[in-house]
Amino acid sequence: MSLDPPILLAVAAVAATLGTVGGFGGAVLLVPLLVATGTDPLVAAPVGLVTVGAGALAAAPGQLAAGVVHHRLGLTIEIPASLAALAAAAWSVNAPGDTLRYVLAAIVLAAGVAGFTRPIPRNQPQPEFVAEPPAEWPGTLGGTYAGPGGPVPYRARRLPGGLAGMVVAGAITGLAGVGGGFVKTPVMREVMWIPIKVAAATATFSVALTTSIALIVYAGQGRIDPESAVAAGLGGLVGGVLGARIQQRLDPTGLRRLLGVLLLGVAVVLVVTR
Amino acid sequence: MSEQGPHPLVGRQRRMILALRVSLALAATLALGGLLLPGETGRALAWGFVGLVIAAPVVRTGWLALRWWRRGDPRFALVAVGVLGVVALAAVLSW
């Protein structure tokens, strides 16, 4: 059941670096690559989720210090996501034949297409909020984000639609072992009108919880191999830090498109190779 | 809102940031130990790493529930407790 730890560490580090730079998370690349090279999807899923959890842990201190995590929003969206993840993780061992492979191909395809979308700024800077700290407002699903043009106040809109999207994200995590951040962030951004940086950081917090729940179920099913998990997790930690540094120096739009093409290629390989 | 200054309930969560940094350092140490040390010791450290990855966001959620309850935000404290309930349900169903 063990994957070769040094190779897994290297592949996980590269996948996490690219996933962080592209903003879709390392497991979206790692799990399909493992499956395409012959690993059972049921073995690859927990390996992917450990990298997701490790990457979220690596990102958390910096995101909190920047005041871009909206904990109240993250936990509100987490209830449907975690229930869906729990149900999907429990069901995944009974998934027939190539179902998980095709689900993975669809997920990678969706993540690749998301790389070509262009976010529309929904909230504008408000100079009168200059004394407001960049943080969430207690008791609400609103807050202030320190944007480049000044403080940007925001509040979550269309909560039911947002929560429905989180069910999809949670199911993806529980079923396929990839983080649902590439669904959660666009849903928060486009449906709930949360600023992109707040949405991304809040999704990281929320995905960490979804990951924990799915990993608890996988552990109960005896699907976690500690040697593979630790190699992939360490790779996820290293790749997360490297990716964050590269992301700050390069043009994110061009990179996202390049990685989008790469993901589309991985989706094709997943469907073609059996 | 700006004339009143920062809301008294808004904190920058310094203790949580510190706790997360310590958890990250511990996770990296456990992962290295789990990867490099042979036998049962390495295996135990590897399981410790997996356990820490699972526990860190759960403990963070419990911390937030307590914090919001004490600071007069019971609605979101209950939301946090609801998430912890799902975690507990997952644990019960798995064992």
- A142-147 and A150-155: which strand pairing? antiparallel
Mention every residue, 6+ apart, whose C-beta is less than 8 A from residue B7: A137, A138
Q: Which of A94, A89, A45 is nearest to A220 (CA)?
A: A89
Higher pLDDT, A135 or B67: B67
- Quote the pLDDT of residue A116: 76
Mean pLDDT of B53-64: 96
Under an 8 A CB cutoff, do B10 and A133 touch? yes
Under an 8 A CB cutoff, do B13 and A64 touch? yes
| Residue pLDDT, tens place only, A54-77 | 988 988 888 888 888 999 999 999
The CA distance from A216 to A197, in Å, is: 29
Higher pLDDT, B92 or A249: B92
* Residue A86 pLDDT exceeds 50: yes
Helix (H) or strand (E) holding B10: none
* DSSP letter string, A112-160: HHHTT--PPP-S---GGGTTS-SSBPTTSSEEEEEETTEEEEEE---HH
Q: Quick one: tokens of A110?
A: 């969706």
Mean pLDDT of B53-77: 95
Higher pLDDT, A118 or A108: A108
Under an 8 A CB cutoff, do A54 and B27 touch? yes
Residues 134-163, chain A, touching B (beta carbon < 8 A): 135-139
What does pLDDT average to over chain A?
86
What does pLDDT average to over chain B?
88
Domain ranges of chain A: 5-117+153-272
Range from A15-24, A33-42, A138-147, A212-221 carrying the lowest mean pLDDT:
A15-24
Candidates B86, B87, B89, B95: best to mutate against A (most CBs of A within 10 A) is B86
Residue numbers in B near A135 (CB within 8 A): 10, 12
Residues 43-72, chain B, touching A (beta carbon < 8 A): 43, 45-47, 49-50, 52-58, 60-61, 64, 68, 71
- Quote the pLDDT of residue B66: 95
Mean pLDDT of B59-80: 95
Q: Which of B68, B64, A136 is nearest to B84 (CA)?
A: B64
| Residue pLDDT, tens place only, A2-38 | 578 889 999 999 988 888 777 777 888 899 889 888 8
* Residue A130 pLDDT exceeds 70: no
Mean pLDDT of B39-43: 92
Residue B18: pLDDT band by 50, 70, 90 thresholds? very high
Q: Quick one: tokens of A229?
A: 């998990």
Under an 8 A CB cutoff, do A138 and B73 touch? yes
Residue A42 near residue A177, CB atoms below 8 Å: no
- Quote the pLDDT of residue B8: 43
- Quote the pLDDT of residue A123: 73
Residue A55 near residue A239, CB atoms below 8 Å: yes
- Quote the pLDDT of residue B44: 96
Under an 8 A CB cutoff, do A212 and B57 touch? yes
* Residue A78 pLDDT exceeds 90: yes
* Residue A269 pLDDT exceeds 60: yes
- Quote the pLDDT of residue A3: 72
Residue B4: pLDDT band by 50, 70, 90 thresholds? very low
Report the chain B residue with the minimal C-alpha distance to residue A139.
Answer: B73
